[in-house]
Structure 1
Amino acid sequence: MGLEHLINQDLKEAMLAKDRRKLEALRAIKAALLLEKTGGGRGDAEIPETVELKLLQKLVKQRRDTAKIYREQNRADLAEEEEYQASIIEKYLPEQMSEEEIQAVVDKVVADTGASSMKEMGKVMGIVSKQLAGKADNKTIALLVKKKLS
């Protein structure tokens, strides 16, 4: 079942349950998917799963960053709303890998490519990011690759 279909189903359930907060988060996902579909030059074609995952990760990151700003401005009420929306959106992402699991993949890719310096970080990052698309945050991957190559 595609993400778009799943979101539409959950939207209907949230409407019936009159869950305003969840509805807001689901509508944000639907809007982002629709923008991707129409702006990506796909027409009515399905959005690839990798693009969907990146889109969801972007939405979660936006919510977390916004919540952090609200906390810095002493607006806990708004921060909680953003964090709630991030938690709803995260439910549609695959389970995130632990740092140890990511490190194992990084170690394997570094060994396979023979990378030994920071000059080769881009090559290693590209391979690891593709392998772990949607399962790990690129910020964490970058930190672990840096640590391994330096």
Structure 2
Amino acid sequence: MSLLETLNQDMKQAMKNKDKESLSVIRMIKASIQNESIKLGKDTLSEDEELTILSREVKQRKDSLQEFKSAGREDLVNKVETELSIVKKYMPEQLSKEELSKIVQETIQDVNATSKKDMGKVMSAVMPKVKGKADGSQIKEVVLQLLN
């Protein structure tokens, strides 16, 4: 089942349950997907493109969360945390630290990286492999750790 079909089913369920927060977030995700498909001139997006949109939605909410926490806006922090948990339901299962380290280690060997100077090569090779399954900052941290 595609992401759009899942979102439609969940949207109907949220309407039946009168779950306004879930409904609002699902509608935002659907709007982002539809806007992207219009921008790309396609009727349907690939799974990879949908994953990119979901990753963008998660990143936006994480950034907002940091801003609201630093501003001391607890009311908005709670709202964004709820939205973030709803969006994460549609993301693929995240890689554990060990799985991510293994992938990064293999990639370092594949691109023959030896120092921090090769970080760009490693990151550009790792990102497509773990797209949507790991956070960019987490990947950066593991790459730096293994290149030291």
TM range (shorter): over 0.9
Runs of 5+ in structure 1 lacking a partner? none
**Over residues 7-38 of structure 1, what are the superposed CA-to-partner deviations in whole Å (9 max), with x where a residue is unaligned?**
01111111111101111111110110011110
RMSD: 1.2
Structure 2 letter corresponding to 1:131? K
Runs of 5+ in structure 2 lacking a partner? none
Q: Normalising by structure 2, report the TM-score.
A: 0.93
Superposition deviation, residue 119 in structure 1: 2.9
Identify the residue that residue 11 of structure 1 maps to in structure 2: 11
Identify the residue that residue 100 of structure 1 maps to in structure 2: 98
**Over residues 63-121 of structure 1, what are the superposed CA-to-partner deviations in whole Å (9 max), with x where a residue is unaligned?**
12212212222221111111101100000001111112111111111112211123322
> Are 2:22 and 1:22 equivalent residues in the alignment?
yes
Identify the residue that residue 37 of structure 1 maps to in structure 2: 37
Identify the residue that residue 46 of structure 2 maps to in structure 1: 48
Q: Normalising by structure 1, report the TM-score.
A: 0.92
Identity %, equivalent residues = 40
Cα distance in 1 between the residues matched to 2:89 and 2:83? 10
